[in-house]
Structures are given as C-alpha cells and as structure tokens.
Amino acid sequence: MMIFADDLGHLSHTVTGDGPPVVLVHAGIADHRMWDAIVPALAERHTVIRYDLRGFGESAPPTGPFSEADDLRRLLDHLGHERVRLVGASWGGRVAVEFALAHPDRVHSLVLLSPPWPGYHWSADMIAYDEAETAALDAGDLDEAVQVNLDMWVRGPARTWDAVDPALADRLRGAVRTSLANQDVVGTHSQGVTDGDVATIAVPTLVGIGRLDVPDFQDISRRYADAVPGATLVEFPSAAHLIALDAPTELVAALLPFLAR
C-alpha cells in the first residue's frame, strides 16, 4: 500500500497494471480488498487504482470535515491522472456519482454497482436492519453489529448461509469491523452527498444489479439506469449486494468491453 498524506490524515492506495486508468471505489462495509478477484484481469489492460476511503481499511479516520469526492480528486491529482474510468460499489458508487457530477471532464465512463439513492424511502426490512445494527453498537457488541451487516450484505435476504462461500464472510469481517469502529467519526466529518441531478451525467454509464440483493437496492439500481441518459443495466443472477465478491468472473466479462469503449 502507498500513502497519500494530507492535513486530515492519509489515504492508502494501490496501483496495479498499465494502460488507461480505472479507479475502483469500495463499498461502505468493505475496503480496497473487495476488488481482489477482478484486479488481475483488469490490470492486463488498465492501470487499476484502488484506495481506502477515510476511516476504512488502512486509511486513517478523518480529523476534520472532508468530502469523499474531493478526496478522490486530490488523489488523482497526486497520481497524475486527469481523466479516468470510474467504478463504484454501494457507497463507493455514490462517491463515483458525486465525482462525476462535480468533475464531469475527469470521468471517461462510469460503472455503478448497487449504489444508494439520497433520500430514498427505505423498506421495513431496511429499517429493521438499521435498528439491529444500532442496538448492537449501543450495547457495545461490535461482533453482533458485524454479523448483522454480513447477514444483510454478504448473505442477503434471498439465500441462507449454506449457499454462500464461507470465505467471503471471513474476507470481509475485518473490513466491516473497521468501518463500524470508525462510523461515528466518519459520519461526523463527512460532508455527505448532494442532490445533484444524475440526468446531467453525459458519459457512458453501466449500472450493475445483483438479483439476490436487498429489493430496495434492486429498485434503486433500476432507478439509476432509467435516470442516467443512455445507461446500460446489467443483472447478475448469482450476486447479492457485493457483485465483485459473488460474481467476479461475470463482472469482469461485463466490465472489460464497457471499459474499452
């Protein structure tokens, strides 16, 4: 891991391969390692940049107000990349949207994998998940809070743990723990997301949806595909919320021709 230090802490990042730059922005319960299975194939044709958002993985929690989109801009400036192909999963997908809205001239194309929608009216199941996580954290039971998140985002609502590779949960457990431990300080300092109009996004856009994901996020993915002009929707039948973990081969098969455009 390389370090980009600034007045708020530092951003840890990796650079792999050679070719047109692709940036992978991880989900809010993960870190840069969630992309491990797809990096080798992408790096055969691209310079693949991964980083940990502030308070995730090996990036320090923020010490003051910050913007995730601005962090990405400054990291790209540091690495010397003017224009990139941008891939974001879940919360990382929303960071990618924010970056594309704020810096449209710096985005060649955009891939959104199950991103949230600001102001979305969540279902009762999503509210129950949030309440379960909050209750565990309020009780000081970080292990239980981690399990609540693994149940929701790795297993998903449509299958049992018997249908999930046990290694996936093991790989994510530490990252989830770190994200939850730093959740309050990140939430305090993050400037959050804007209500920018995604209909103004003018670059090629691919939206990915896991058919085993939470129904709310399946609905949201279709909403993005409808709202972003010319967007392509790709469905992954064997994936829950984290497509890069559940269906890496299928994801690479969708990404490579799209990124080559």
| Structural domains present in the chain | 2-121+186-259 (3.40.50.1820)
Structure-block tokens of residue 169? 């949960």
pLDDT at position 162, please?
96
Nearest Cα neighbor of 88 from 116, 60, 54 is 116
Q: Give the total residue count for the chain.
A: 261
Q: What's this model's pTM, rounded to 2 decimal places?
A: 0.97
Own/partner contacts of 119-126, CB < 8 Å, gap of 24 or more, are 119/195, 120/216, 120/220, 122/216, 123/214, 123/215, 123/216, 125/157, 125/214, 125/215, 125/216, 126/214, 126/216
pLDDT at position 29, please?
96
The phi and psi torsions of 241 (rounded to 5 degrees) equal -70, -35
184-214 pLDDT, tens digit each: 999 999 997 777 899 999 999 999 999 999 9
pLDDT profile of the chain (261 residues), mean per 10? 91 98 98 98 98 97 95 97 98 97 97 96 97 98 98 96 94 97 95 87 98 98 98 98 98 98 89
Q: Is there a contact between 203 and 110 (Cβ–Cβ < 8 Å)?
A: yes
pLDDT at position 193, please?
78
Own/partner contacts of 228-233, CB < 8 Å, gap of 24 or more, are 228/110, 228/198, 228/199, 228/201, 229/199, 229/201, 229/202, 230/204, 230/205, 231/205, 231/206, 231/207, 232/205, 232/206, 232/207, 232/258, 233/207, 233/208, 233/209
| Helix 142-149 / helix 166-181 crossing angle, nearest 10 deg | 130
Most distant CA pair in the chain: distance in Å?
50
pLDDT at position 14, please?
98
Helix, strand, coil percentages, rounded to 5, for the chain: 45, 20, 35
pLDDT at position 88, please?
98
Nearest Cα neighbor of 74 from 18, 1, 9 is 9
pLDDT at position 243, please?
98
Structure-block tokens of residue 248? 């890496």
